[in-house]
Structure 1
Amino acid sequence: MKDFYKIIAKNNGKVTIQDLSGYKMIGKGADGSIFQLTPETCVKVYVNEDNQKKELNALQIGQSSSVIPRLYEYGSNYIVMEFVNGGNLKAYLKKEKQLPESIVKKILFMLDELKKIGFARLDTEVRHIFFNEREEIKVIDHKRALYTVRSVPTKMFTGLKKLGYLEEFLAHVKRINPSLYEEWKNLKIE
């Protein structure tokens, strides 16, 4: 982590992907790249500083919830946050070949938490839902959380359907929360 602080100081508070070549890249997307700094922390370096501001705002608002990664520090084009040591829901389903009710309960808890926080977007992709080594649920990638209104987790449903688990998920929801099941059962998912 000391090396990371030297990079920030050298670059007047900014970070480039090239500066982080000595760190393990753990993710890359349209918004930026994520590098593991320590066993507990990672840094996301953004292509667009406006996207950094949007995600930072959501992370700051979400710090009261256990489903949002801890925020440690930030600069104009980066955010240092909790490294979730575990796998995502997509990888879990491919490996385990089942969707236990205990996992569905955690997903429903996560959706309730996003609503309590005040996020407008109560949706996420299955690849953004993580379980750490203690099987605690965390959700990442919050740039649209406050700016896109989506009260039904359609992206998650679409991902579950592609993986062949939407019907099983909804069957669990029917047992756990019948009223929520009634709200979701007739949605058209592609």
Structure 2
Amino acid sequence: MHKNKELIVNPYYDFDINLLDCKFLGEGHNGIVYLLPDGNVIKICFNIKSFIGEYIILEKVNGNKYFPRIYDIGENYMIREYVDGDMLPKYIRKHGFNDELGKRIIELLKEFKVLNFTKIDLRCKDIFVQPNGNLKVIDPKKFYTKDRDFPRHLSKGMYKLKILDPFLEVLKKEEPNLFDAWTPKIMNYIKELKY
């Protein structure tokens, strides 16, 4: 296992988990997620390299309001806080986009810089809008290992959801410097998508 496993001194769980007692939440390329009876989740990972990368990120940001807390890890699983709410695309389809949501997304991206992430980007489906309106990131990937200085994947998702222009308007109003830095890159990327 990864050398950081020793950092988990007091395991959160000291008993076997029967997945038949758990609610299936979803499955992606790298793992499958179940809701545990106590309200936390277990993610069983298929890809050990991705698992280790995700664990390192969550361990470094543990306690940050934008990320689920991590409680325990094993050879191919992690137990972490359950993130309630809707994925950003589903939330937008139900409630639409507004300036307040745009501001929260901008604050999330600014937090990435505070956390010294080298990748200032994520996919729309990795942002959950919680019932109280706060944002949480699930499935963090390569935030410390990939260089990207603008939200490329996020822009692509927003473009497909038809909210990129309203988001850029909020960005221009709230963070003109980021607007000036990101917009040319975003527009070039979107132009490539069209062809």
Q: TM-score with structure 1 length normalisation?
A: 0.86
Shift, 1:64, TM fit: 4.3
Letter in 2 for 1:5: F
Secondary structure of residue in 2 paired with 1:93: helix
Query: Percent identity among equivalent residues?
Result: 28
Equivalent-residue separation in structure 1 for 2:181 and 2:37 (angstroms):
42
2:132 is aligned with 1:127: no
Is this contact kept in 2: 1:43–1:80, CA < 8 A?
A: yes
> Aligned ranges for residues 35-50 of structure 1 at < 5 Å?
35-38=34-37, 40-50=39-49
Equivalent residue for 1:172? Answer: 170
Equivalent residue for 1:78? Answer: 77
Moved more, 22-31 or 51-60: 22-31
Equivalent-residue separation in structure 2 for 1:57 and 1:149 (angstroms):
17
Is this contact kept in 2: 1:65–1:113, CA < 8 A?
A: no
Equivalent-residue separation in structure 2 for 1:3 and 1:120 (angstroms):
33
2:3 is aligned with 1:5: no
Shift, 1:143, TM fit: 3.1
Equivalent-residue separation in structure 1 for 2:75 and 2:29 (angstroms):
17
Flag the 1:175–1:117 CA change in 2: closer, same or farther, 3 A.
same
Shift, 1:4, TM fit: 8.7
Moved more, 70-79 or 39-48: 39-48
> Aligned ranges for residues 25-40 of structure 1 at < 5 Å?
25-38=24-37, 40=39
What's the Cα RMSD here? Answer: 1.9
Is this contact kept in 1: 2:21–2:37, CA < 8 A?
A: no
Flag the 1:109–1:75 CA change in 2: closer, same or farther, 3 A.
same
Shift, 1:50, TM fit: 2.2
Equivalent residue for 2:116? Answer: 118
Secondary structure of residue in 1 paired with 2:86: strand
Equivalent residue for 2:51? Answer: 52
Equivalent-residue separation in structure 1 for 2:31 and 2:117 (angstroms):
22
> Residue 156 of structure 1 is aligned with which of 150, 154, 157?
154
Is this contact kept in 1: 2:127–2:136, CA < 8 A?
A: yes
Equivalent-residue separation in structure 1 for 2:105 and 2:113 (angstroms):
13
Can you give the 5+ residue segments of structure 2 that lack an aligned partner in the other structure?
1-11
Equivalent-residue separation in structure 2 for 1:172 and 1:39 (angstroms):
39
Deviation string for 1:125-151 (max 9, x for gaps)?
A: 111111212111111111322222212
Shift, 1:22, TM fit: 3.4
Equivalent residue for 2:4? Answer: none
Is this contact kept in 2: 1:39–1:83, CA < 8 A?
A: no
Structure 1 moving runs of 4+ over 3 Å: none
Deviation string for 1:155-189 (max 9, x for gaps)?
A: 00000001111001101111111111111222222
Secondary structure of residue in 1 paired with 2:21: coil
